[in-house]
Protein backbone atom coordinates (compact mmCIF):
# COMPACT_ATOMS: atom_id res chain seq x y z
CA UNK A 1 0.00 0.00 0.00
CA UNK A 2 1.32 3.42 -0.90
CA UNK A 3 1.83 6.16 1.67
CA UNK A 4 -1.00 8.15 0.07
CA UNK A 5 -3.37 5.18 0.25
CA UNK A 6 -2.42 4.50 3.86
CA UNK A 7 -3.03 8.16 4.77
CA UNK A 8 -6.61 7.75 3.52
CA UNK A 9 -7.23 4.32 5.03
CA UNK A 10 -5.59 4.60 8.45
CA UNK A 11 -8.11 7.05 9.99
CA UNK A 12 -10.95 4.75 8.93
CA UNK A 13 -9.65 1.81 10.99
CA UNK A 14 -10.90 1.40 14.55
CA UNK A 15 -8.65 2.97 17.18
CA UNK A 16 -6.37 0.71 19.19
CA UNK A 17 -7.22 0.06 22.82
CA UNK A 18 -4.91 2.26 24.91
CA UNK A 19 -5.24 -0.15 27.84
CA UNK A 20 -4.64 -3.25 25.71
CA UNK A 21 -1.47 -5.03 24.73
CA UNK A 22 0.94 -3.08 22.55
CA UNK A 23 0.72 -4.00 18.89
CA UNK A 24 3.34 -6.52 17.80
CA UNK A 25 2.51 -6.13 14.12
CA UNK A 26 1.90 -2.76 12.50
CA UNK A 27 -1.64 -2.27 11.26
CA UNK A 28 -0.33 -1.27 7.85
CA UNK A 29 1.31 -4.70 7.54
CA UNK A 30 -1.98 -6.36 8.55
CA UNK A 31 -3.88 -4.41 5.88
CA UNK A 32 -1.22 -5.22 3.26
CA UNK A 33 -1.50 -8.94 3.99
CA UNK A 34 -5.31 -8.81 3.86
CA UNK A 35 -5.11 -7.09 0.48
CA UNK A 36 -2.57 -9.70 -0.65
CA UNK A 37 -5.02 -12.51 0.18
CA UNK A 38 -7.90 -10.73 -1.55
CA UNK A 39 -5.85 -9.89 -4.64
CA UNK A 40 -4.11 -13.24 -5.06
CA UNK A 41 -6.84 -15.59 -3.86
CA UNK A 42 -4.27 -17.25 -1.62
CA UNK A 43 -5.82 -19.34 1.19
CA UNK A 44 -5.20 -17.87 4.63
CA UNK A 45 -3.24 -20.93 5.75
CA UNK A 46 -0.92 -20.69 2.73
CA UNK A 47 0.47 -17.21 3.37
CA UNK A 48 4.18 -16.87 2.59
CA UNK A 49 6.49 -17.37 5.55
CA UNK A 50 7.72 -13.76 5.58
CA UNK A 51 4.19 -12.60 6.42
CA UNK A 52 2.74 -12.54 9.94
CA UNK A 53 1.01 -15.70 11.17
CA UNK A 54 -2.24 -16.25 9.28
CA UNK A 55 -4.35 -16.56 12.45
CA UNK A 56 -3.38 -13.05 13.55
CA UNK A 57 -4.16 -11.46 10.20
CA UNK A 58 -7.39 -13.40 9.82
CA UNK A 59 -8.56 -12.39 13.30
CA UNK A 60 -8.18 -8.70 12.33
CA UNK A 61 -10.00 -9.34 9.05
CA UNK A 62 -12.85 -11.18 10.85
CA UNK A 63 -13.14 -8.62 13.66
CA UNK A 64 -13.25 -5.73 11.23
CA UNK A 65 -15.89 -7.55 9.18
CA UNK A 66 -18.06 -8.22 12.23
CA UNK A 67 -17.83 -4.68 13.64
CA UNK A 68 -18.63 -3.05 10.29
CA UNK A 69 -15.19 -1.53 9.66
CA UNK A 70 -15.00 -2.83 6.07
CA UNK A 71 -18.46 -1.44 5.31
CA UNK A 72 -17.45 1.92 6.81
CA UNK A 73 -14.27 1.96 4.71
CA UNK A 74 -16.21 1.09 1.55
CA UNK A 75 -18.77 3.83 2.18
CA UNK A 76 -16.13 6.47 2.95
CA UNK A 77 -14.04 5.62 -0.12
CA UNK A 78 -17.09 5.57 -2.39
CA UNK A 79 -18.17 8.97 -1.06
CA UNK A 80 -14.69 10.45 -1.54
CA UNK A 81 -14.51 9.11 -5.10
CA UNK A 82 -17.95 10.43 -6.02
CA UNK A 83 -17.10 13.90 -4.68
CA UNK A 84 -13.77 13.88 -6.52
CA UNK A 85 -15.64 13.00 -9.74
CA UNK A 86 -17.96 15.99 -9.22
CA UNK A 87 -21.02 13.88 -8.38
CA UNK A 88 -23.32 13.91 -5.37
CA UNK A 89 -21.74 12.23 -2.36
CA UNK A 90 -24.60 9.74 -2.13
CA UNK A 91 -26.13 8.02 -5.18
CA UNK A 92 -29.67 9.17 -5.93
CA UNK A 93 -30.74 5.93 -7.62
CA UNK A 94 -29.70 2.32 -7.82
CA UNK A 95 -30.07 -0.32 -10.50
CA UNK A 96 -30.77 -3.85 -9.40
CA UNK A 97 -30.33 -6.57 -11.98
CA UNK A 98 -31.05 -10.18 -11.32
Residue 83 φ/ψ, nearest 5 degrees: -65, -45
pLDDT in tens, 24-51: 899 999 999 999 999 999 999 999 999 9
CB neighbour burial string for 19-48, b if at least 16 within 10 angstroms, e if fewer: eeeeeeeeeeebbebbeebeeeeeeeeebe
Cα 61 from Cα 73, distance rounded (Å) = 13
pLDDT in tens, 53-63: 999 999 999 99
Predicted TM-score (pTM) of the model is 0.81
pLDDT reading at 22 higher than 90: no
Amino acid sequence: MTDAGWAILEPLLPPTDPDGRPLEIERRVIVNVIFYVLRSGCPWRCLPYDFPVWETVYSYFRDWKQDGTWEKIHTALRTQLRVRMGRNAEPSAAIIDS
